[in-house]
Amino acid sequence: MPVLLKKALYLVVMLLLISFISFLAINAAPNSFLAAGELNPNMTPEAIEKLKAVYGLDKSMFEQYIHWLINLLQLNFGVSFVSGADVTDEILKRLPITLSMNITAMVAVFMLSIYLGIKAALHSGKSFDYALRQLSLISFSMPSFYLSLLLMLIFSVTLNWFPIAGLHSIEPKTGFSYYLDMAWHLVLPVGVMIFVSIGSMSIYIRSLTLEILKSDYIFFAKARGLSEKIILRRYIIPNLLPPVITLLGLSLPGLIGGSVILEAIFGIEGMGQLFYLSALSRDYPVIMGILTITALLTLLGNMSADLILIKLNPYAKRS
Amino acid sequence: MNLPRFSIFLLVAITVFSFFGSVFYSQSPYLLDKDSILLAPSFSHLFGTDRLGRDILARVIEGGKVSISIGIGSALIGSFIGLVLGSTAGYFRGKIDKAFVVLVDLFLTFPTFFLLLALVSYVNASVFVLIFIISITGWMTTARLIRSESFSITQQPFIKILDIAKVKKSKILLKYYAPLLAPIFFVSFTFGVGGAILAESGLSFLGLGIVAPQMSWGTILSSGKEVIDIAWWVSFFPGLMIFLITLSLMNISNYLQQQTNKKEIY
């Protein structure tokens, strides 16, 4: 399949570029690997040379880059400046919670906005449409941290319905109630995630549906006297899916980026919080590790969106 | 209700309030007062006071200057980069366009907020640094819009005729090309100001943006998060400002876009 090959090649080019940029970035970092050692008066020049040899810093830039690339391919980002722990372990430990939050939010946004967007398009100009457009503007302009604080104030402080922060209650739980407890802790953060991204998605789907409704095949389907339900299932949704799936693939980085703020506010020990803490303490290996892994996830997301598209539309293979 | 007019009114009101508010409101945003710690909103302190007894209204006025300046500054630079790159790619096509697509894709593979945080960790944030960082992470949407718009403009016969007539490339670009891109540019500019204000306040909220003694709406809001359970007003008012100004900007952008009848930005 030539299209797939082309996409795979593009992926490889992107990964090479990313690895090159991250190499430059980590070399430009203000506090170098040896900064502390060079300041130490007891360090002899020989000892510094030895350390450099240990870290491979005595080699040429090109050799260092190749070394970095090989490490990246093995997902080896070195050790954290702060904790001394292996960066990949740290990230992988925290990735599942972030990913599951983001995927839950993404699925919910997808379902809800398809429903809302199509409904608004079918009743375009009516009050439901107007309300959805206003809601989407609010959703787009609402800072996630502000909404989180307001919701915390209302639901956690005043009404006491949901916990303020964290992932687990103090008393340990096991089995099914362990996950139930976790879900209860995640209602507010995931709710905020859904709210801040639903506006753009549903408005996008609304305008796509409006375009589809203008087409000849819908006109003809109506002329044949097909019911609204059948038109919806047979003509609107299949035509709607390809662009929406592309957009979903593209929106993955935005969602993950948003989890930095939410995890910091709600005290969730995920990748976003780790990123925030590393940015505060300038822990460059961790920063670069997370950047590279999210870039990889995004590329994989886009790639799978493309694959689904090809599956849905055999014509896409030819272009 | 006339929404665009109301939004413009709101935008102008908040801007005037931030830049000239201190003329009418004489309280100092820096004055510490141990007798008025965490006072609820009242006539002497309309927005209440914070943990150090400082007047929130005065701080919101002062912080607004920084937030709005960063918003406008970053959006100006960001949309300018987008305009230059997008129109070059759209006009010259071919290899230049391919390189452009790779560059935009590369920037879009990283979550914008991650890029912001990573860049901020390299330097100490100040107003100018933040403007710079936010603009170089926020030009992609404008660039893509301008590019696709440029594509449709170059399709039009009069540009081809100008090419055939051997009119200078620079003259075509500036005299016949740029004016057609103006509407889409203004749409994405207003949109960009809102986005930049959100980005700055997000960074400042995390403590990685503006540092004391300077303040922005984000830092004031951030200072209220520890006392949210006993003093809602510290976070509420600066957050409301961020929300209202972004809402009015998005609304105006949306309205402009309906006028030019182009595809939705977001």
Tens digit of pLDDT per residue, chain A (319 long)? 677 788 888 888 888 888 888 888 777 766 555 555 556 667 777 777 777 776 666 677 788 888 888 888 888 887 787 777 888 888 888 888 898 898 899 899 999 999 999 999 988 888 999 899 889 989 988 999 999 989 988 888 788 787 777 777 777 777 777 777 878 888 899 999 999 889 988 988 998 999 888 888 888 888 898 888 888 888 888 888 888 888 887 777 777 888 888 998 888 888 989 999 988 888 888 888 888 888 888 888 888 888 888 887 767 665 4
Q: For residue A31, what pLDDT is reported?
A: 59
Mutate to test the interface with A, among B105, B121, B211, B252 (most CBs of A within 10 A): B121
Contact A207 B264 (CB under 8 A): yes
Classify burial at B204, counting beta carbons within 10 Å of its beta carbon; exposed 0-12, middle 13-18, buried 19 or more.
buried
Residue A25 lies in a domain: no
Residue B2 confidence class, pLDDT cut points 50, 70, 90: low
Residues in A closer than 8 angstroms to B110, CB to CB, are 253, 291, 294-295, 298
**What is the DSSP secondary-structure string of B241-262?**
HHHHHHHHHHHHHHHHHHHHT-
CATH number assigned to the domain covering B66-265: 1.10.3720.10
**Do the chains contact at A258 and B264, CB–CB below 8 Å?**
no
A301 occurs within a structural domain: no
Q: What is the DSSP letter of B39?
A: P
Tell me whether residue A185 is in a domain. Answer: yes
Backbone angles phi, psi at B249, to 5 degrees: -65, -45
Closest CB from A140, A143, A257 relative to B112 = A257
SS3 annotation, A92-128: HHHHHHHHHHHHHHHHHHHHHHHHHHHHHHHCCCCHH
Q: Which residues in chain A have their CB less than 8 angstroms from residue B122's CB? A: 28-30
How far is C-alpha A126 from the geometric centre of its chain's CA atoms? 34
CB within 8 Å: B122 and A152: no
Separation between Cα atoms, residue B253 and residue B246, nearest integer Å: 10
d(CA B101, CA A17): 13
SS (H, E, C) chain A: CHHHHHHHHHHHHHHHHHHHHHHHHHHCCCCCCCHHHHHCCCCCHHHHHHHHHHHCCCCCHHHHHHHHHHHHHCCCCCECCCCCCEHHHHHHHHHHHHHHHHHHHHHHHHHHHHHHHHHHHHCCCCHHHHHHHHHHHHHHHCCHHHHHHHHHHHHHHHCCCCCCCCCCCCCCCCHHHHHHHHHHHHHHHHHHHHHHHHHHHHHHHHHHHHHHHCCHHHHHHHHCCCCHHHHHHHHHHHHHHHHHHHHHHHHHHHHHHHHHHHHHHHCCCCHHHHHHHHHHHCCHHHHHHHHHHHHHHHHHHHHHHHHHHHHHCHHHHCC
Mean pLDDT, rounded, for B174-184: 83
- Confidence at residue A172, expressed as pLDDT on a 0 to 100 scale: 72
Confirm whether A145 is domain-assigned.
Answer: yes
Nearest CB neighbour to A143, from listed B112, B114, B202: B202
Task: Decide if A243 is inside a domain.
Answer: yes
Closest Cα in chain A to B266 = A200
Contact B111 A279 (CB under 8 A): no
Q: Which two tokens stand for residue A199?
A: 């506006």
Phi–psi pair at B187, nearest 5 degrees: -60, -50
Residue with tokens 């590329």: A299
Residue B265, pLDDT above cutoff 60: no
In this predicted structure, what is the pLDDT of residue A168?
73
pLDDT, tens digit (0-9, with 9 covering 90-100), for B109-147: 888 888 888 888 888 778 898 999 999 888 998 898 889
Question: What CATH number does residue A173 fall under?
Answer: 1.10.3720.10
Tell me what pLDDT residue B266 has: 44
- A29, A146, A152: residue with CB nearest B243: A146
Structure tokens that stand for B256 in this block:
């402009």
pLDDT of the residue at A41: 67
Contact (CB, 8 A) for A189 and A101:
yes
Q: How far is CA B84 from the centre of its chain?
A: 19
A60 belongs to a structural domain: no
What's residue B49's pLDDT? 82
Q: How far apart (Å, rounded) are the C-alpha atoms in residues A176 and A184?
A: 12
Q: By C-alpha distance, which of B200, B196, B256 is closest to B76? A: B196
Tell me what pLDDT residue A114 has.
92
The reported pLDDT for the residue numbered A13 is 86
How many angstroms away from the CA of B146 is the closest CA of chain A?
19
pLDDT for residue B259: 80
Q: Which residues of B have a CB under 8 Å from any CB of A?
A: 102, 105-106, 108-115, 117-118, 120-122, 194, 198, 201-202, 205-208, 221, 224-225, 228-229, 232, 235-236, 239, 242-243, 246-247, 249-251, 254, 263-264, 266
Substitution target from B14, B104, B113, B203 for chain A, most A beta carbons within 10 A? B113
User: Do the Cβ atoms of B264 and A203 come within 8 Å?
Assistant: yes
Q: Check if the beta carbon of residue A57 is closer than 8 Å to that of residue A33.
A: yes
> CB neighbours of A305 closer than 8 A, spacing ≥ 6?
A245, A246, A248, A249, A250
Q: What is the pLDDT of residue A284?
A: 83
pLDDT for res A36: 55
Substitution target in A141, A204, A271 with the highest count of B β-carbons within 10 Å is A141
Q: pLDDT grade, residue B242 (50/70/90)?
A: very high
Please report whether residue A150 resides in a domain.
yes
Sketch the domain layout of chain B as residue ranges.
66-265
Please answer yes or no on whether B109 and A299 come within 8 Å at the CB atom.
Answer: yes
pLDDT score of B201: 92
Neighbouring C-beta atoms of residue A89, cutoff 10 Å: 11
Give the distance from residue A282's alpha carbon to the nearest chain B alpha carbon, in angstroms: 6
Tokens of A265: 């506010």
Residue B225 predicted with pLDDT over 70:
yes
Total domain count for chain A? Answer: 1
Structural domain range at position A103? 97-280
Q: What is the pLDDT of residue A113?
A: 92
pTM as predicted: 0.86
> According to the model, what pLDDT value does residue B79 have?
92
Q: Are A36 and A55 in contact (CB under 8 A)?
A: no
Structure tokens at B117: 């945080």
- Test the B interface: residue of A149, A201, A280, A292 with most B CBs within 10 Å: A149
Selection from A100, A119, A99, A121 nearest residue A111 by Cα: A119
The confidence score (pLDDT) of residue B196 equals: 93
By Cβ distance, the residue of A143, A152, A253 closest to B243 is: A143
Query: A295, B110: Cβ pair inside 8 Å?
Result: yes
Please tell me which residue, A129 or B212, carries the higher pLDDT value: A129
Residue A206 confidence (pLDDT): 92
The pLDDT value recorded for residue A244 is 87
Instruction: Give CA–CA dist A136/A201, Å, rounded.
Output: 9
Residue A187 has a CB neighbour count (10 Å cut-off) of 14
* Stated length of chain A: 319
| Number of residues in chain B | 266
**Residue from B64, B69, B75 nearest B216 by CA:** B64
Residue from A145, A189, A258 nearest B242 by CA: A145
The answer to whether residue A125 is domain-embedded is yes
Residue A11 CB partners (closer than 8 Å, separation 6+): A299, A303
Per-residue model confidence (pLDDT) at position B1: 46
Q: Is A141 on the interface with B (CB under 8 A)?
A: yes
Instruction: Kindly state the average pLDDT of the residues B96-117.
Output: 87
